[in-house]
Chains A and B, each alone.
Chain A
């Protein structure tokens, strides 16, 4: 059980490295599930202090899902690339979910007496969620205009990866990554500005 997931992930990563992009489709759900679960677990472990971050999470997932003896160090960056993509989906879906709930449904129908009570402390507010959702939508647009740029953004933002790691994971030169990264940021910012302007 434990072994099999690790073996599957390790084999899929090897295929990905040898150029089989189809492996990504199989790898993605496994990494996605692991990360989602780890987010809960890690949160439990680190409750109180604020050390939980994507890097730690992705690293933990890597250690659990990949048999390091079997693979070269380069596989780690490939894994990180997949994990970053998974992270984007997890976090943006989560943000969307939160906004949807905030805006309606049973859970927010508070009676007058409810309003007197103090709400629980919120670290991740609706505003945060809106930013993430806007970012996700801008990324989708970017994907249609400039294919591949979203990969870089995912690695940088959601995988907290360096330019070099991103380059390795995506099989690009660091200079290319840097150029595309500059473009992607300006592009996204502009798109999000339009979006938020539109909202207001």
Chain B
């Protein structure tokens, strides 16, 4: 079509359109004359005109505005819930902003929840930004600390969108907590202390956060602070025009950061100071009508000391802030450790202050729980610790002897607060879970369940129990079930100083305890100054998302523990019901496998049936979770007891011990296994390890005694059996072997 003059065409169209439809043809005839092309064009345009007005009137509201909104969400709406990207299935949208969107996703390969952060398109498109980001994520992934949100991985979708895989934590950001006014001064100090701890660890590795602010600090349900987005926050949030000048972020920038020049680790100390001030004073220390005024306040303004609380605590906070909020980095703390030391000291004074108030109430309550060694008074939702055992206010001091016990922990049976039956199962089950989980802390030996259960309801004090078990620390607490929620209160007691190291309250849905368990492990590890290596990888999960299945599993375990035919049959029912609800619940398969082994051993089922079903169940569990130590032991037991495949059995025992070095039963069973193979020295070593982990049970000792017997070390064997009989004079099996040993020594008088 030949181009026509737009203005002429527009004018004619305007006129034609303003006429009633019946008059238009005549108008066009007149206007176009012989120009048939013009006539055709105009006719078609006039026809389109009326519909066009209606159509385009709605375009702003119906198309463009939603497009702008969707663009704001950017990656947000491109991905939908339930969608799978690489091995991650999107479960829930957690948030999103200029830097991209964060989803809670299920890692299908490792069967755990992680957080996936997609980066904004413009960052993914820029190769330089991309390279920097990958480098930073790599550095951040080396940070393994309880107060740092872990970075697992960085990846790319098939259409080259970058994403970062991070730890998923249940909880809320400090920003949101603060908005709710939920943070007390005490808590603020406690939380900031944890962040300082994180910074200290990161700075030691040369990694600067650059964007410490309340929205980057997540507080888990268990009260652990996690500093998120290490090293990547600032990069990710940078834009082509202005680097990192997000309105919310400027407020936490250090003076040197606002200049856009060189910064070092001390910028993080400033930012954390701003966070602390805001938490304690309720407002930010530096404010401005606009960005310019804010920057000026940061560079030159003074902060209001008067808004800080009075008293020792407020004074302590002020002193710390003076050293964080110095304009010149050289006048600040030289490093996060210094800040951490001051915060720790302040955290300690705080407890001392509170002790005086709480002591009386604490004792009066104590009397009510006669069966429990001690329970703490709980204040507030988060259960801030107030209780205390001893009158001395000294900070933990460990004697040399205690130091050697420090790496041994006893988890006392959790106590159900009410006498509800289900609560008892849950309490016992949760105790076992905690023992299993805490066993995974490197270098920590956790006393086995069978040595703990005798103390259930004994009324003995933690200190005395610690002595009997030769442990450095005792973890004890209570459990309450209300409306499908579990509330667990735990306290960690240092045996030598009798000092309560910490107390925490945890609340979660019955089936949703894995996050809490992880928090407990990390917090205990931190309190004991121990490292959990890659907690995300090593801490196994409860293995089911079904709360009901989990409770059924715990009931099964409870009954199986009684080791009699009726109870085992009942246990079998519970495990089967749990598996009906969740066939992918590996631990329930192990429970079922163990039950069949027990039933076979008790001759309640045909041996062949019992062990073949036990083996099948264990194999099923291992298909689901190849790293489940209990499943390896279950399989090994079936293989050794019935199939006589000792080689494979040995392999599975070793694997179980490798996966969980504190697994007493694995050591004990492996010791027996080694005895069958006549590897007596190794067998004895395993038996002794089992004994250390399970000091009150006679089972490891019997194994040790029989090993000594078969090794023809009769004197030692006799001593071993006598030792068992001293404690447990009604142990017939020990008499039998004692007699055998004495017969071997031809000491027939004694044998008789």
Q: B residues engaging A (CB < 8 A)? A: 1, 3, 6-7, 9-11, 13-14, 17, 44-49, 51-53, 55-56, 59-60, 62-74, 76-85, 89, 93, 96-98, 120-122, 157-159, 239-243, 245-247, 260, 291
Given A44-B72, A124-B66, CB of A119 within 8 Å of CB of B10: no
Q: Are B69 and A52 in contact (CB under 8 A)?
A: yes
Our pick among B7, B56, B63, B158 for the contact of A107 (Cβ within 8 Å) is B158
With A110-B82, A131-B63, A132-B63 known as contacts, the answer to whether A5 contacts B56 (CB < 8 A) is: no
Chain A to chain B: the 8 pairs with minimum beta-carbon distance, closest first: A43-B72, A117-B82, A124-B70, A179-B10, A106-B158, A189-B52, A183-B10, A40-B98
The reply to whether A187 and B48 contact each other, CB–CB distance below 8 Å, is yes
CA distance A160 to B64 in the complex (A): 10
B-contact bits for A95-138, CB 8 A (1 contact / 0 none) = 10110010001111111001111111011100011011001000
Q: A189 near B69 (CB under 8 angstroms)?
A: no
Cross-chain contact of A146 among B3, B48, B59, B241 (Cβ < 8 A): B3
Query: Chain A residue with minimal CB distance to B67?
Result: A91
Given contacts A114-B82, A190-B44, 16 further A-B contacts (CB under 8 A): A30-B241, A34-B241, A37-B239, A39-B68, A43-B72, A105-B159, A111-B84, A116-B82, A123-B69, A128-B67, A135-B59, A178-B14, A179-B11, A185-B52, A186-B45, A189-B55
Does A2 sit within 8 A of B, measured CB to CB?
yes
Query: How close is B107's CB to chain A, nearest CB, in angstroms?
Result: 16
Q: Complex Cα distance A129/B64, Å?
A: 10
* Complex Cα gap A110–B93 (Å): 18
Question: How far is B1's CA from A190's CA once the two chains are assembled, in angstroms?
Answer: 14
A36 to B71, CA, bound (A): 8
**Inside 8 A of B56's CB, which chain A residues have their CB?**
157, 185, 188-189
Chain B residues lying within 8 Å of A91, measured Cβ to Cβ, are 64, 67-68, 71
Tell me which residues across on chain B come within 8 A of A118, comparing CB atoms.
81-82
Interface size class of A (residues with CB under 8 A): 35 or more
Residue of A nearest to B45 (CB): A186
Contact (Cβ within 8 A) A145 B245: no
Q: Which residue of A lies closest to B82 (CB)?
A: A117
A95–B67 CB distance below 8 A: yes
- Whether B65 pairs with A1 at a CB distance below 8 angstroms is no
User: Within the complex, what minimum Cβ distance (angstroms) separates B247 from chain A?
Assistant: 8
Nearest chain B CB to A115's CB is how many angstroms away? 8
> Is B79 in contact with A107, judged by CB distance below 8 angstroms?
yes
**Do the beta carbons of A180 and B65 come within 8 Å of each other?**
no
- 8 A Cβ contacts from A119-170 to B: 119-120, 122-124, 128-129, 131-132, 135, 145-146, 148-149, 157-158, 160
Q: Which residue on A lies nearest to B79, using beta carbons?
A: A107
Query: 25 A-B contacts, Cβ less than 8 Å apart?
Result: A1-B243, A39-B74, A40-B97, A41-B72, A43-B69, A44-B96, A57-B68, A94-B67, A98-B70, A105-B159, A109-B84, A111-B84, A119-B80, A120-B79, A120-B80, A123-B77, A124-B67, A131-B63, A135-B63, A146-B9, A182-B13, A183-B6, A185-B56, A189-B56, A190-B48
Determine whether A176 belongs to the interface, using a CB cutoff of 8 Å to chain B: yes
Q: A148-B6, A183-B9 are in contact. Are A189 and B65 (CB under 8 A)?
A: no
- Whether, in the assembled complex, A50 has its beta carbon less than 8 Å from a beta carbon of chain B, the answer is yes
Instruction: Contact check, B45 vs A187: say whether CB atoms are below 8 A apart.
Output: yes
**Which chain B residue lies CB-closest to A153?**
B56
Q: Mostly helix, strand, loop or mixed at chain B's interface?
A: helix
**A57 contacts which chain B residues (CB < 8 A)?**
68
Q: How far is the CB of B159 from chain A (nearest CB, A)?
A: 5
Binary contact track A52-85/B, C-beta < 8 Å → 1, others 0: 1110010000000000000000000000000000
Shortest B244–chain A CB gap in Å is 10
Q: Report yes or no: B68 in contact with A53, Cβ–Cβ below 8 A.
A: yes
CA distance A2 to B49 in the complex (A): 47
Which single member of B13, B96, B241 contacts A183 (CB below 8 Å)?
Answer: B13
Pick from A52, A120, A129: contact of B65, CB under 8 Å: A52
Interface residues of A (CB under 8 A from B): 1-2, 5, 30, 33-34, 36-37, 39-44, 50, 52-54, 57, 90-91, 94-95, 97-98, 101, 105-111, 114-120, 122-124, 128-129, 131-132, 135, 145-146, 148-149, 157-158, 160, 176, 178-183, 185-190, 193
Distance between Cα atoms of A34 and B122 in the complex (Å): 12
Q: Is the CB of B52 within 8 A of A188?
A: yes
Q: Is the CB of B242 within 8 A of A2?
A: yes
Whether the pair B49, A128 counts as a contact (CB closer than 8 A) is: no
The minimal Cβ–Cβ distance linking B262 to chain A, given in whole angstroms, is 14
Complex contacts, A107 vs chain B, CB 8 Å: 78-79, 83, 85, 157-159
**In angstroms, how far is the closest chain B Cβ from the Cβ of A2?**
6
Q: Please, which residues of chain A bring their CB within 8 A of the CB of B73?
A: 43
Evaluate contact between B69 and A41: CB separation under 8 angstroms: no
In the complex, are the beta carbons of A54 and B291 less than 8 A apart?
Answer: no
**A109 CB contacts on chain B under 8 angstroms:** 84
Give the chain B neighbours of A111 by CB distance below 8 A: 84
Q: Identify which of B11, B67, B82, B242 contacts A5 (C-beta below 8 A).
A: B242
Tell me whether A180 and B7 are in contact in the complex, defined as CB-CB below 8 angstroms, given that A50-B69, A111-B84, A119-B82 are known contacts. yes
Contacts of A119 in B (CB 8 A): 80-82
| Chain A nearest CB, measured from B90 CB (Å) | 8
Do the beta carbons of B1 and A42 come within 8 Å of each other?
no
Assess whether B98 is in contact with A44, with CB atoms less than 8 Å apart.
Answer: yes
Q: How far is it, in angstroms, between the C-alpha of A44 and the C-alpha of B239 when the chains are bound? A: 16
Residues from chain B with Cβ under 8 Å of A117 in the complex: 81-82
Which residues of chain A are near B1, meaning CB under 8 Å?
A: 145
Residues of A within 8 A of B51 (CB): 189
The answer to whether A39 and B71 touch across the interface, beta carbons within 8 angstroms, is yes
A34, A42, A43, A186, most chain B CB atoms within 10 A: A186
Assuming A124-B66, A189-B52, is B13 touching A90 (CB within 8 A)? no
Q: Report whether B48 and A5 are in contact in the complex, using a CB–CB cutoff of 8 Å.
A: no
Decide if A41 touches B49 in the complex (CB within 8 Å): no
A123's closest neighbor in chain B, by CB?
B66
B17: shortest Cβ distance to chain A, in Å?
7
Residues of A within 8 A of B79 (CB): 107, 120
Given contacts A42-B72, A105-B159, A119-B81, contact A176 B7 (CB under 8 A): yes
**CB-based contact B72/A157 at 8 Å:** no
Bound together, the chains give a CA A198 to CA B55 distance in angstroms of 19
Complex: A5 Cα to B46 Cα, angstroms = 46
Compute how far the CA of A42 lies from the CA of B246 in the bound complex, rounded to whole angstroms.
Answer: 11
Which of B62, B77, B85 is packed against the most chain A CB atoms within 10 Å?
Answer: B77
Question: Taking A119-B80, A145-B3 as contacts, is the C-beta distance between A106 and B55 under 8 angstroms?
Answer: no
Known: A52-B68, A53-B68. A182 touches B10 (CB 8 A): yes
Residue of A nearest to B53 (CB): A185
Chain A residues with CB under 8 A of B77? 120, 122-124
Q: Is the CB of B48 within 8 A of A189?
A: yes
Cα separation A57 to B260 with both chains bound (whole Å): 26
In the complex with contacts A117-B81, A122-B77, A5-B10 CB distance below 8 A: no
In the assembly, what is the distance between CA of A44 and CA of B348, in Å? 40
Contact A157 B64 (CB under 8 A): yes
Whether A105 touches B6, Cβ cut-off 8 Å, given contacts A40-B120, A157-B59, is no
